[in-house]
């Protein structure tokens, strides 16, 4: 199923917002712990997530994984962000965040797969 142009752009925009929100949730959780350890976690957790994402899940990732691997990396980051929201006392928001992120990632994967099939050589 290939999404129409405006829906494709909306889903990609939502994906970007979710990625930024995941980093913010991880930072919030770390800093909420307090003390020096909290400051370190508040910096290290989102940096680790961003590095993981950049290496394996970004459109121009350094390491090309099959779709299942990319979805696994995204799941790790988004579930960690959901757990971080739970950790700062926002369990419902954490669950909603993970649910929206999962649907967004699956729709994007199906859309990209359909787009790839449409432009692959030998079609016609």
| Tens of pLDDT, residue by residue, the chain (124 residues) | 777 888 888 989 999 999 999 999 999 999 999 999 999 999 999 999 999 999 999 989 999 999 899 999 999 999 999 999 999 999 999 999 999 999 999 888 887 765 555 555 554 4
Within a domain: residue 124? Answer: no
The domain total for the chain is 1
Enter the pTM of the model: 0.86
Question: CB under 8 Å to 79, separation ≥6 — which residues?
Answer: 98
Question: CB under 8 Å to 54, separation ≥6 — which residues?
Answer: 61, 62
What is the domain extent for residue 34? 5-119
Question: CB under 8 Å to 49, separation ≥6 — which residues?
Answer: 22, 23, 26, 77, 80, 81
């Amino acid at each position: 199923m290939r999404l129409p142009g405006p829906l494709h752009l909306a889903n990609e925009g939502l994906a970007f917002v979710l990625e930024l929100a995941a980093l913010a949730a991880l930072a919030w959780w770390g800093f909420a712990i307090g003390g020096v350890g909290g400051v370190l976690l508040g910096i290290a957790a989102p940096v680790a997530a961003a590095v993981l994402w950049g290496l394996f899940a970004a459109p121009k990732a350094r390491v090309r994984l099959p779709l299942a691997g990319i979805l696994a990396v995204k799941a790790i980051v988004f579930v960690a962000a959901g757990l971080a929201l739970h950790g700062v006392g926002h369990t419902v928001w954490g669950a909603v965040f993970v649910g929206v992120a999962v649907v967004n990632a699956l729709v994007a994967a199906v859309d990209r797969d359909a787009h790839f099939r449409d432009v692959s050589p030998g079609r016609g």
